[in-house]
């Protein structure tokens, strides 16, 4: 049903997970743990899937904040479980509140500042990556919570990998040379979203050994993850979630 990034396992006060497509109730083509409310699947089924996911993590659904994502660079400071509109990154320093983004090829990034006790969850497709949403999220955590990037740990999650992300010139032109590769045979560019977001984190001041990059691909491991591109737009969404437990 979900995987826990290894980089965060040293922190016992964190609830953190990246879901897979297994263990839910949705039928084809959304099989089966579809957590995307705006995917075209039955809302009742998606909510049932979400409850199943949250229950497995030991958290209540009313404690989860999420947003209708629009590929923007807008960031919201969260203080309670709530449904937002138009934000692609959420941050909080409130214990017992959990933040989540949903994806199906775009890159989910989770961030934890163990010193100031703050977390961030980012949805970064190619547009958000170009807009530097990850860097802006770190900057927002600095201004809101006094976060020092050198203290942070981060996970660059499962997304479409470079070998599968074929784009035209209009998209390729938005990226620096180090994040794209031209295939002369196909006359197409290939974009590396994981590397682009990883470098944003490095440039913000996160140490390399405090960043984990998912080894999985939504395309190559489509049996375990939803892929908007491979499944031609008719698919579900998986989630990346992070939050701090209430102190006992």
* Tens digit of each residue's pLDDT (9 = 90 or more) over 137-168: 999 999 999 999 999 999 999 999 999 999 99
What is the 3 state secondary structure string of the chain?
Answer: CEECCHHHCCCCCEEEEEECCCCCCCCCCCCCCCCCCCCCCCHHHHHHHHHHHHHHHCCCHHHEEEEECCCCCCEEECCCCCEEECCCEEEECCCCCEEEEEECCCEEEEEEECCCCEEEEEEECHHHHHCCHHHHHHHHHHHHHCCCHHHCEEEECCECCCCCCEECHHHHCCCCHHHEEEECCCCEEEECHHHHHHHHHHHHCCCHHHEEECCCECCCCCCCCCCCCCCCCCCCCEEEEEEECCCC
| Structural domains in the chain plus CATH codes | 2-244 (3.60.140.10)
* Tens digit of each residue's pLDDT (9 = 90 or more) over 63-104: 999 999 999 999 999 999 999 999 999 999 999 999 999 999
* Tens digit of each residue's pLDDT (9 = 90 or more) over 18-68: 999 999 999 999 999 999 999 999 999 999 999 999 999 999 999 999 999
**pTM check: above 0.85:** yes
């Amino acid at each position: 049903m979900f995987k826990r990034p290894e980089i965060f396992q040293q922190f016992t006060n964190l609830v953190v997970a990246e879901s897979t497509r297994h263990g839910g109730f949705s039928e084809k083509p959304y099989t089966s743990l579809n957590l995307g409310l705006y995917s075209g699947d039955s809302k009742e089924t998606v909510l049932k899937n979400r409850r199943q996911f949250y229950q497995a993590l030991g958290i209540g659904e009313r404690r989860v904040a999420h947003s209708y994502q629009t590929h923007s660079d807008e960031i919201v400071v969260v203080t309670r479980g709530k449904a937002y509109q138009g934000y692609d990154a959420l941050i909080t320093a409130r214990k017992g509140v959990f933040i989540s983004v949903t994806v199906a090829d775009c890159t989910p990034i989770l961030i934890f500042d163990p010193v100031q006790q703050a977390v961030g969850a980012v949805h970064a497709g190619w547009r958000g990556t170009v807009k530097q949403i990850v860097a802006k999220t770190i900057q927002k955590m600095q201004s809101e919570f006094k976060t020092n990037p050198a203290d942070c740990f981060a996970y660059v999650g499962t997304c479409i990998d470079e070998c599968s992300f074929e784009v035209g010139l209009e998209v390729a032109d938005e990226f620096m040379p180090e994040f794209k590769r031209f295939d002369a045979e196909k006359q197409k560019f290939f974009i590396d979203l994981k590397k682009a977001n990883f470098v944003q984190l490095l440039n913000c001041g996160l140490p390399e050994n405090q960043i984990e990059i998912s080894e999985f691909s939504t395309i190559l491991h489509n049996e375990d993850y939803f892929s908007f591109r491979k499944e031609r737009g008719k698919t579900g969404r998986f989630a990346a979630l992070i939050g701090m437990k209430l102190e006992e």
